[in-house]
Structure 1
Amino acid sequence: MSMQYFMYKVKDDAGRTLYGLIEGQTKDDIKKRLRRPNLFFISARPYHLQKLFKSRVKFQTLIMFTNRLSSLIEAGIPILSAMDILWRQSEDQTIQLVVSYMKRQLEEGNKISTTMEYFPRIFPVVYRALIRVGETSGAMTPILRKLTEFLEYKAKIILRTKKATFYPSIVVVFSVLVILGMFMFVVPTFQKLLLKLDVDLPVLTKVILEISTKMRTWGFFITVVFGGMGLYMTLNYLRRNPRVAAKIDGMVLKIPYFGHIFLTISLSQYIRSLSILLEAGVPLIESLTVANSTTGNQKIAQELDGIKNDAEQGVSLYEGFKKIKDIPVMLIEMIGIGESTGMMSQILEKVNRHFDEEIEYNIDRFLTMLEPLLIIFVGFIVIITLLSIYLPVISIWDSLSGY
């Protein structure tokens, strides 16, 4: 019988449930091999590794993994022992399986950076590049510290974005509910009254009543739900093509006001990654390639790819950045200073701080404007709806007062 991977489930002497991967032929074979004084076997079943290779974990889980690994390596604990400790400490099932698989690969003589290549959705390209440098240089501890700082920075950006969008999301949802409530419950009540009066209705009233009637049909909900799903799936499918994705992202960058924010966010991620990679000693061309994958915008990534191609031909970064029209002048000049002084990573760090402040300012400014605009919009819809309802009533009242 051929060997295959099994996912096993055990409990340690503290009662914690642990999951791992091991090669074997049968379940009984796995059970025998896992007999240890401090582990209690529960179950085992065949497992397809491709499922694990495509898995993801929460960002906070990755930060915790990196922070713990950094502490263990800094304390002088060998990598295999560190992996075993991480496996026992982890509470996330996916990360337990990943660590278990990585430990097996390390026992077979593979490098940790090589094993991480199997999990591109868990360990970002910047992460893997820095780990590779840490292995080559023997400076794994400072590299892991840098990685922890980088991940915590990204977590802060994500948290700030969530906080920034939380209140507007509530206002938007409330606005939609108010409008739906008006058209589905308030308008129909008056519609019955107006039909009983049998009067000639104004055009505005007819339009509002027609919209209300359409919104109360199953066809409306089916169109909205399936139309939204279809649009989402179509955009996702189109974005698989780099050229189409670049065109879509290019249009996003042209959106008034928001385009500049998206550009700044993409450049901030690129500059931050490039700064860390260069400081860690990653070669320039590789740093440019890896940093390019962090922009989150295909249009910008395509333009920045030209900088890497120019650098391979011996062209300076300053000249390469000057060719891209959307790059802020300040960034171009600061890169020129970084090249001339030999302090590129420090200069890029300063530029990144400036971009972060600019992003925060623009988001706060947008949120300040958004609240009154949404209130005005909802108020306008409510006024138009009420006006369309009361116009016929006012008309009838005027005609009756004439007698």
Structure 2
Amino acid sequence: MRTYIYKLKDDTGKTLHGFTDAYDKKDLKKRLRHSNYFFVAAEPAHREKIFNQKVDLESLLVFTRRLSSLIDAGIPILGAMHILWRQTEDKQMQLVISHLRNRLEEGKTLSAALEDFPRIFPGIYRAMIEVAEKAGGLTTILRRLTEHLEYQRVFVARVRRATWYPIFVICFALAVFVGMFTFFVPTYQKVLVRLKVELPFFTQMVLSISEFLRSPWTILGIIILVIGGTIGYRALSRSARFRYGMDRQKLKLPVFGDILRALTLGRFVRSLSILVASGLPIIDSFRVAKTTASNEFVADQIDAVQKKVERGNSLYDSFREVPLFPVMFVEMVGVGESSGTISQAFAHLADHFDEEVDYKQSRFFTYLEPALILIVGAIVLVTLLAIYMPIFSVWQGLMH
């Protein structure tokens, strides 16, 4: 049998997509005959490719929020999936929902069906659904997942702001530097040559930099360096040891390292709080929450804490023995553990890290923008002085 992606239309003309196995297109049409939809087209597909696809965070958030509302309204899970399949506009999400519906019709659990799409439904998502299936309260779990995904959206925006804005600033400063030395300076270089005067060392240095940047060999060297560096970095990134070392060094960067640490720890404890509050055992919660740490060094430190807890150590002692976690973090965990409110303690810590990220980002950008103005201004001023100093000297000579 082969896997086919098919296209149907309902009585309103809306296009719907799904996939299933069939011997050929004729067999597929026969299988879909009783679906009450109009068959449009079908094409062969690779099942593994469909299962390894990704959808954006917004699509997953919309799916979860709608599923939560439908279940809360008392609609059975299978009926809710059928409604979502018809409501969803995104083709990829239609394929996912159609498969989930088929698996549920086969008698599989929702958590088992979600396992087929590991790149769409993360570990924390699947684990919480499994907890709900065992202990009940699917509506509550889906509501928590919706809140978690909304937090993830904010988290992604924070990461982008923390990384892309400094990159933009650096690129802008470089663009000004290159523009001044490759377009502005050569224009006035011809004027300086016509003056036939001895140029100051400062001016000669600026002209030499300009000629160097405009040299074909320099341009070729930069291109080779960029391409070679990109290829080399990608090759090294396949090494777990290299990624571990890079992630560790990122945390040591001034300002940016503190922001990254707060972002990563905040995401981890937020996930831990939701999992523990949902009823997942603490060890299992660690195992799932650890996967949310995008920094391999941080993930390794979390793993060290997890192993200590597995050996019977308290959460307080386990976190205290790992240097990554600050004193306030450890003390709040200790208070939560002793009072039996550990999930609330994790939630408070997550809020604290969010506030810390916002504060440090605002301070960082407050200093960064004036620094950009100073750097760009210095580049322009130095270039103008180097160009106009000989011209002013000649003009003063003529006046005398």
TM bucket normalised to smaller: over 0.9
Conserved? CA contact 2:333–2:342, under 8 Å: yes
SS at 2:294 equivalent: coil
Match of residue 243, structure 2, among 242, 245, 251 = 245
Q: CA deviation at 1:398?
A: 4.5
Amino acid at match of 2:120: I
Q: Deviations over 1:38-74 (max 9, x none)?
A: 4222210111012122211111100000011111222
Aligned to 1:389: 387
Aligned to 2:73: 75
SS at 1:151 equivalent: helix
Amino acid at match of 1:280: S
Unpaired runs of 5+ in structure 1? Answer: none
Aligned to 1:291: 289
* Partner Cα separation in structure 2 for residue 31 and residue 374 of structure 1: 63
Q: Is the deviation greater in 29-38 or in 214-223?
A: 214-223
Aligned to 2:146: 148
Conserved? CA contact 2:162–2:256, under 8 Å: no
Q: Deviations over 1:91-125 (max 9, x none)?
A: 11111111112222222222221222222221111
Aligned to 1:365: 363
> What TM-score, normalized to structure 2?
0.93
Match of residue 183, structure 1, among 181, 184, 188 = 181
Q: Deviations over 1:9-50 (max 9, x none)?
A: 122122221111011111222223223574222210111012
* Partner Cα separation in structure 2 for residue 273 and residue 233 of structure 1: 35
Unpaired runs of 5+ in structure 2? Answer: none
Match of residue 256, structure 2, among 255, 258, 279 = 258
User: Is 1:15 equivalent to 2:30 in the alignment?
Assistant: no
SS at 1:293 equivalent: helix
Amino acid at match of 1:24: A
| Aligned-pair identity (%) | 46
Aligned to 1:314: 312
Q: Deviations over 1:337-396 (max 9, x none)?
A: 111111100111111111111110111111111110000000001011111212322343
Matched ranges for 1:43-122 at <5 A: 43-122=41-120
CA RMSD, aligned part only? 2.3
Q: Is the deviation greater in 213-222 or in 121-130?
A: 213-222
Aligned to 2:204: 206
* Partner Cα separation in structure 2 for residue 270 and residue 245 of structure 1: 19
SS at 1:324 equivalent: coil
Matched ranges for 1:292-371 at <5 A: 292-371=290-369
Aligned length: 400
Matched ranges for 1:204-243 at <5 A: 204-216=202-214, 220=218, 223-224=221-222, 227-243=225-241
* Partner Cα separation in structure 1 for residue 191 and residue 297 of structure 2: 56
Q: CA deviation at 1:246?
A: 1.4
Aligned to 1:277: 275
* Partner Cα separation in structure 1 for residue 80 and residue 60 of structure 2: 16
Cα separation, partners in 2 of 1:230 and 1:103, compared to 1, 3 Å: farther
Q: CA deviation at 1:173?
A: 5.4
Aligned to 1:379: 377
Conserved? CA contact 1:8–1:20, under 8 Å: yes
SS at 2:272 equivalent: helix
Aligned to 1:267: 265
Cα separation, partners in 2 of 1:263 and 1:139, compared to 1, 3 Å: same
Q: Deviations over 1:171-193 (max 9, x none)?
A: 55554443333223211111122
* Partner Cα separation in structure 2 for residue 121 and residue 219 of structure 1: 44
Q: Is the deviation greater in 340-349 or in 50-59?
A: 50-59
User: Is 1:195 equivalent to 2:193 in the alignment?
Assistant: yes
* Partner Cα separation in structure 2 for residue 336 and residue 285 of structure 1: 17
SS at 1:8 equivalent: strand
Cα separation, partners in 2 of 1:148 and 1:203, compared to 1, 3 Å: same
Conserved? CA contact 1:168–1:371, under 8 Å: no
* Partner Cα separation in structure 2 for residue 278 and residue 292 of structure 1: 13
Conserved? CA contact 2:115–2:126, under 8 Å: yes
Cα separation, partners in 2 of 1:128 and 1:240, compared to 1, 3 Å: farther
Q: Deviations over 1:308-363 (max 9, x none)?
A: 10111101111111112231111100111111111100111111111111110111
* Partner Cα separation in structure 2 for residue 113 and residue 229 of structure 1: 43
Conserved? CA contact 1:21–1:100, under 8 Å: yes
Q: CA deviation at 1:170?
A: 6.3
Conserved? CA contact 1:310–1:320, under 8 Å: yes
